[in-house]
A = this chain, B = another copy of it.
Amino acid sequence: MIRTSVIGLGYWGPNLARNVHTCPGTFLYSLCDRDEERLAAIATNYPAAKTDSDAATVLADPDVEAVVVATPVHTHYKLAKAALEAGKHVLVEKPLTDSVETANELVELAETKGLILMVDHIFVFSPPVRKMKEVVESGELGDLFFIDSIRINLGLFQHDINVVWDLAPHDLSIVDYLLGRLPRSISAFGSVHAGQDIEDVAYLNLDFGEGLIANIHVNWLSPVKVRHVLIGASKKSVLYNDLDGSEPVKIYDRGIHVDGSREARHGLMIDYRSGDVVSPHFQRAEPLQQMVRHFAECIEHDRKPLTSGEAGLRVVRILDAAQRSIKAQGGRITL
């Protein structure tokens, strides 16, 4: 079992600690948080784990093989870098870092050191997203036309990041996983309310070329919670509704067929195909547990993680471009 330390025990860290504890491949070696009271409270659940209030102590311990970084975003780079330099494998909360330069540096450092660098793009490990990937890969959808992703709710305002850096990594990592490539360009709008100087509503428009676009709506001010990913395509389409407990993924055998001939186009001979809707069965599994297991397996077998540092870098590149486009009132940024 890989001796693993979890650094940062705020909102998400305790969940990571619990999964590191129960995952067969990892051993929860130690817990670390600057807030000693918080640290002590979480530690009562894990009597076998050491506790440290200073991350430096954790990184200096030669028995630590892997580190999970779940601290505020602006500290990801410094902590992950120090961990890699200390020879530890690293799993970082999303987003990987808060700039392209630092994300890139971490990727290169992990490569040089021969260590695993993985990002907690949690949705890549959720069964519905896995099912969507399987459907996209099978080719049954035909040509992809658009991806429309909505992630809105009354949200947790963050100290150091806006709604784009907070929520859009989820959507962008799903899109990255489904398509496996960067968009050609991006345009984004953000809006500031409630006396804050950080964006709490934003829309991102990604152009992947060949008629494929992705649109993302992230919002901390919505009274209703919506989490939809809709993939429109030439043959079939897919809707993933994360809040539908019984049928989260639906495949629609519906579409429009246009006869491409000149005569046909003049008359717009359109055939609406309407067919079955299938909600495929899949095994339910806790995404966080899958993710921690994947981290352990990648370390053990020296494999590239699905949500590698490179994937994390791609997401940071889009976030960075989105931020610049928002500042430019939606001006299009080429990637």
| A residues in contact (CB < 8 Å) with B | 45, 47, 143, 145-146, 148, 154, 157-159, 185, 187, 189, 191-196, 201, 203, 205, 211, 213, 215, 217, 219-225, 230, 232, 234, 236-237, 239, 243, 245-247, 252-258, 260, 265, 268, 270, 272, 274-281, 329-332
Closest to A45 in B: B45
Closest to A215 in B: B203
Given the complex, which residues of B lie within 8 Å of A236, measured CB to CB? 223
Given the complex, which residues of B lie within 8 Å of A252, measured CB to CB? 223-224
How many monomers of this chain does the complex have? Answer: 4
CA of A193 to CA of B47, assembled, Å = 49
Q: Is the interface of A mostly helix, strand, loop or mixed?
A: strand
Given the complex, which residues of B lie within 8 Å of A281, measured CB to CB? 253, 274-277
A283 to chain B, nearest CB (A): 9
The 3 closest A-B pairs by CB, nearest first: A223-B252, A277-B279, A223-B237
CA of A332 to CA of B236, assembled, Å = 34
CA of A296 to CA of B113, assembled, Å = 56
Task: Check A225–B201 contact: CB distance below 8 A.
Answer: no
Given the complex, which residues of B lie within 8 Å of A272, measured CB to CB? 154
Task: Check B194–A222 contact: CB distance below 8 A.
Answer: no
A26 to chain B, nearest CB (A): 16
Task: Check A154–B195 contact: CB distance below 8 A.
Answer: no
Closest to A222 in B: B232
Closest to A328 in B: B332
